[in-house]
């Protein structure tokens, strides 16, 4: 199994990212387990939606803070913070994708990686 810098298991990191997303009421969280896919780019994709630019920014900030607090990990890279239609947080073994709904539909990562094991996380009310 691929490990990140501090030997944190990718599943533990994935779970922390999901929990960080839930803290800020992210919608329609999906975990794609890519570990069984040949030539994968990472172990997991965690995908969610926010209702607005502000919500996407808030989810991004909450995930970053939560993972840093719980696991002492920071993303190796982050993309898309400007327009906040799609923010990507790259933790190497797990990549978090935070979308506005229209951008999520347009890029449709779930369909692009349809051969991955998919877990839908229920929305918190």
Please give the structure tokens belonging to residue 85: 């239609």
CATH superfamily of 10-110: Beta Polymerase, domain 2 (3.30.460.10)
- The per-residue pLDDT for 82 is 74
Instruction: Quote the CA–CA distance of 24 and 125 in Å, as a whole number.
Output: 11
| pTM score, whole prediction | 0.91
Instruction: Quote the CA–CA distance of 76 and 69 in Å, as a whole number.
Output: 16
Predicted confidence (pLDDT) at residue 17 exceeds the cutoff of 90: yes
CA distances from residue 51 to 13, 24, 58, 61, 70 in whole angstroms, order as listed:
25, 11, 11, 15, 26
Helix (H) or strand (E) holding 29: strand 27-33
Phi, psi dihedral angles at 109 (to 5 degrees):
-60, -35
Over residues 68-100, the pLDDT tens digits come to 999 999 999 999 877 789 999 999 999 999 999
- The per-residue pLDDT for 125 is 73
Question: Binning pLDDT at 50, 70 and 90, where does residue 2 land?
Answer: very low
Structural domain spans, the chain: 10-110
């Amino acid at each position: 199994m691929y490990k990140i810098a501090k030997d944190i298991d990718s599943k533990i990191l994935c779970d922390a990212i999901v929990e960080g997303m839930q803290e800020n009421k992210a919608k329609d969280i999906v975990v794609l387990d890519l570990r069984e896919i040949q030539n994968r780019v990472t172990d997991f994709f965690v995908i969610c939606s926010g209702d607005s630019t502000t919500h996407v920014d808030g989810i991004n900030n909450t995930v970053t803070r939560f993972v840093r607090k719980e696991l002492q990990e920071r993303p190796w890279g982050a993309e898309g913070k400007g327009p906040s239609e799609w923010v990507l947080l790259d933790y190497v073994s797990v990549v978090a994708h935070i979308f506005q709904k229209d951008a999520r539909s347009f890029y449709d990562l779930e369909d692009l990686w349809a051969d991955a094991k998919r877990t839908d996380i229920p929305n918190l009310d």
